[in-house]
Amino acid sequence: MIEIPTDLPPEIVPLSWLLGVWEGTGVVEYEVHGEQRVHPFRQRVSFSHDGLGYLNYSAFVWLQEGEGDFPETTPLTAETGYWRIARERDDSDTGPGYLPPSAPSKIADADAVEGLRGEDNAFPLEVSIAHPTGVVELYLGSIRGPRIDLASDAIVRSAGAKEHTASTRMYGLVGGKLLWAWDIAALGQELATHASGQLEKVD
C-alpha cells in the first residue's frame, strides 16, 4: 500500500511512492571488448524532497565480493540528481540561476497537477543524473502509477570520460519492492542490458 505524506508539494505527489531510502542487491552484466563481465553489487538509493517541486535522488553502489549475510564490499560509484514532472517553466518558477519566482505558482493543487497528465494517462517526467565519472544524463519519460520509463534525451561527457552515448531506465514498484533496469550504449556498442536491481524500503 502506498502512503502519501500530507505535506508534499502537489507537483511531486505522482512521484511520492519513491520517497524514502531503499536498499538491496543487483548485478552488472555488460560486454566489454568481447568479454561478458558480470559483477554482483549492493545498492542504497534515497529519494527525498525539500519542499520544492522535485525529488532529490542519490544512489551509492558497492561491489559484492564476499558471501553470506555480511559480505565484504568495495565502494564502486555513486549517482546524484533530480526528478520532476516535465512542463514548461514560467515566472512562477525559480531561475535562471538563483532568481526567485515573480508570480504565484500555477501548480498549487491536485486539479492543477492532473492538468499535466498526458493523453496516455501518464505524467511526463524529466530526470537529470550526474556521475562522478564525468557523465551527466538527461532523461525524458513518463510515470504511470507505480511504473517509470525513461530514455536519455542528452548525455554530456567531460573530455576524459569513457564513451557513453545513450541510456534507458525502467523503475517499478512490485510487491512493495523497487525493481529497476538500466540499459546503456557505451564503448562503441548499441543499447544493451547493463544492470538491474531489486530494493526494499528501509526508511
Q: What digits encode the pLDDT tens for the residues 130-176?
A: 999 999 999 999 999 999 999 999 999 999 999 999 999 999 999 99
Q: Which domain holds residue 197?
A: 10-85+104-201
Q: How many domains does the chain have?
A: 1
The pLDDT value recorded for residue 7 is: 75
End-to-end CA distance of the chain: 15
Threshold 0.85, pTM exceeds:
yes
Alpha carbon distance 20, 15 (integer Å): 11
Give the pLDDT score at 33. Answer: 85
Q: Which three cell numbers stand for residue 31?
A: 560486454
43 assigned to some structural domain: yes
pLDDT digits (tens, 9 = 90+) for 103-136: 998 898 889 999 999 989 999 999 999 999 999 9
Report yes or no on 148 lying in a domain. Answer: yes
ω into 10 cis (within 30 of 0): no
Residue 1 maps to a domain? no
The cell for 36 is 561478458
CATH of the domain at 19: 2.40.128.20
Question: What pLDDT, on the 0 to 100 scale, is given for residue 64?
Answer: 84
